[in-house]
Amino acid sequence: MGGRGSSSGVSLAGKPYGSEYKTLLRVGNVKFLMHNHGPAAIPLETMSASKNRVYATVNSRGNIKYVTTYSEDGLAKIQYDLVYSNNKLISIHYHNWTGESRGVEHRQLSAKEYRWIEGIVNEWQRRNI
């Protein structure tokens, strides 16, 4: 993952591939990462051979800020935004991605989606204590 996830070896911003994020933890198909250069941001694409790769992007406070799924061609597909108050998860909303454009669509998460995200957050908190 180079500058915003570019896969060309060097991003348009001149950052070498793999330099923008640090991997903190891997659990199954979920990779927990932290952005190295500024505020939390999602990788726009993945070079992972795993077709079901999920990235959980951790912010500077140690909370998961985004959980992102990727399409089979490696581009961001759905970005779940997690909102906290006093380090407690209070809400989740999502954005669909089309190419490099983030959609503004909001909908209530299904119970299954919410449990899945909660499981990722719980796994992070359990291993990060």
Cβ neighbours of residue 37 closer than 8 Å, sequence gap 6 or more = 15, 20
CA 63-68-71 angle, 5° bins? 170
Domain locations along the chain: 3-127
Predicted pLDDT of residue 4: 47
Predicted pLDDT of residue 10: 65
Beta partners for residue 69, in sequence order: 54, 78
- pLDDT tens digits, 10-19: 655 566 666 7
Predicted pLDDT of residue 76: 82
Residue 82 to residue 50: CA distance in whole angstroms: 24
- pLDDT tens digits, 8-49: 566 555 666 667 888 999 999 899 999 888 788 777 767 665
Q: Is the model's pLDDT at 62 over the cut of 70?
A: yes
- pLDDT tens digits, 71-122: 887 788 888 999 988 888 888 888 887 766 666 677 778 999 999 999 999 9
Predicted pLDDT of residue 33: 93
CA distances from 111 to 8, 36, 114 (A): 38, 33, 5
